[in-house]
Amino acid sequence: MKTKSDVTGTVVMERTFNAPVARVWRALTDADEMRQWYFDLKEFKPEVGFEFEFVVEHEGNTYHHLCKVTEVIPQQKIAYTWRYKREPGDSLVTFELLPDGDKTKLRLTHEGLETFPKTPAYAQKNFEAGWKGIASELEKVLQ
């Protein structure tokens, strides 16, 4: 797994999974599967304009995430906005799938982190660590 970030507030992570693109796409877009590795989503649809939300409790704080799907290219790419209720800032999360034989390379980009509050909770290193953990959970589901 490669993770790259820069001073502009963008995290880029690449990871290759031992699963075909169709299987990884299903894990990224099916609400039941997403609950196994991602967050406790009530509902999710890979449709432009679909809005979803989830709440994360971390170190005594509650983070209410609000997201809206902005782009869908089936079995290739899905993107959605990512912001926090009652906090300034807007970011964009993009998952891109690249076939690699019978495996799939996932490129995840989370950009716009610099728009969030300049507090330790929203530090870029926390997003990097969070996405690494999420990718590890996804890998378990795909095995």
Question: What pLDDT is attached to residue 15?
Answer: 97
Residue 58 has a pLDDT of 86
- The pLDDT of residue 2 is 54
Give the pLDDT score at 1.
53
State the sign of the Cα–Cα–Cα–Cα dihedral 71, 75, 76, 81. Answer: positive
Domain housing 104 = 2-142
pLDDT score, position 6: 47
| pLDDT tens digit at each of 143 positions of the chain | 555 544 579 999 999 999 999 999 999 999 999 999 999 999 999 999 999 999 999 888 899 999 999 999 999 999 999 999 999 999 999 999 999 999 999 999 999 999 999 998 899 999 999 999 999 999 999 98
Total tally of structural domains belonging to the chain: 1
pTM: predicted TM-score of the whole model, two decimal places:
0.92
- Could you write out the DSSP letters of every residue in 93-138? EEEEEEEETTEEEEEEEEE-GGGS-SSGGG-HHHHHHHHHHHHHHH
CATH code of 112's domain: 3.30.530.20
